[in-house]
Structure 1
Amino acid sequence: MRFLDYLIAVDVRTALMDRMMRKLGVDRQLKVVADQIQVTNRAVDRCRSCGHQEECSTWLDNEQNANHPPAYCRNSDLIARLRLAAGQR
């Protein structure tokens, strides 16, 4: 894999994570959580190591009123904690 291909792949996964956080309404909560930089970096790393990019992209495109991420989402626990902190269920 060329370095540019790696950077593109990383960018795509980071964009998916950002879309997921926005879709589920926890993007603002993620910005104010304690240790925000470390929490975000770990979430990005989990997204980068996921093998479900196409499924995730399709899910994000098609899911209208999502309350929870798909079962394969490696950030499900984080999203649940952020939703709880934001007073969502």
Structure 2
Amino acid sequence: MSFLEYLIGVDARTALMGRMMQKMGVDRQLKVVADHAAVTSRAVDRCRSCGHQDECAAWLDETTHADHPPAYCRNGDLIARLQSVR
């Protein structure tokens, strides 16, 4: 894998995290949570290290409404916490 391919993959996984936060309706809460930058950075790292990018992208494309992310989502706990402060 070239460095460029690595960077493209990282960017794609970061985009998936953003889409998941939007789909779950917590993107605004994530922006105002205490220590926003650190929380977001850790969430991006969890998403980047996930091995379910294809499944995640398909789930995001096919799902119009969901109360929780797929079981494999490494940010599921964060999403649940953000949903509780709506």
Query: What TM-score, normalized by structure 1, do the two folds share?
Result: 0.95
Name the counterpart of 1:75. 75
Residue identity (%): 72
Query: RMSD in angstroms over aligned alpha carbons?
Result: 0.5
Name the counterpart of 1:35. 35
Name the counterpart of 2:21. 21
Which letter maps to 2:51?
G
Distance 2:3 2:54 in 1: 21
Count of matched residue positions in the alignment of Structure 1 and Structure 2: 86
Deviation string for 1:2-44 (max 9, x for gaps)? 1111110000000000000000000000000000000000000
Which letter maps to 1:82?
L
Query: What TM-score, normalized by structure 2, do the two folds share?
Result: 0.98
Distance 2:60 2:66 in 1: 9
Name the counterpart of 1:11. 11
Which letter maps to 1:50?
C
Partner of 1:72, secondary structure, is: coil
**Over 3 Å off, 4+ runs:** none
- Structure 1 runs not aligned, ≥5 long: none
Is 1:56 aligned to residue 51 of structure 2? Answer: no
- Structure 2 runs not aligned, ≥5 long: none
